[in-house]
Amino acid sequence: MRSVLSGPELRELREAVERVHVEPAVRDYITRVVRATRDEPTFALGASPRAGVALFLAARAEALGATSWCRTM
């Protein structure tokens, strides 16, 4: 298997994700989604706090990717 990114490139990408600003409304939305899974009786288990953090990081990474893609157009 061939590497897609080197160690330093991966570190740079992770740091770039950390710098993505997230509006309070988005943070609130993520919190509401995670809490809603805990209150929904059709789910056996609700999302954990770590799931909320993962969703938050995924949103930041997606935003970074979207803005990078837009700059290449």
Q: What is the pLDDT of residues 14-70, one digit of tens each?
A: 999 999 999 999 999 999 999 999 998 998 899 999 999 999 999 999 999 876 654
**Domain around 56:** 23-72
pLDDT at 72: 46
Kindly report the pTM of this predicted structure.
0.75
Q: Could you tell me if residue 40 is inside a domain?
A: yes
Q: Could you tell me if residue 47 is inside a domain?
A: yes
Asked whether the beta carbons of 16 and 64 are under 8 A apart, the reply is yes
Number of folded domains that form the chain = 1
Q: Could you tell me if residue 58 is inside a domain?
A: yes
Q: Which helix (H) or strand (E) holds 3?
A: none
Per-residue burial over 18-56, b if 16 or more Cβ lie within 10 Å, else e, is: eeeeeeeeeeeebeeebeeeeeeeeeeeebeeeebeebb
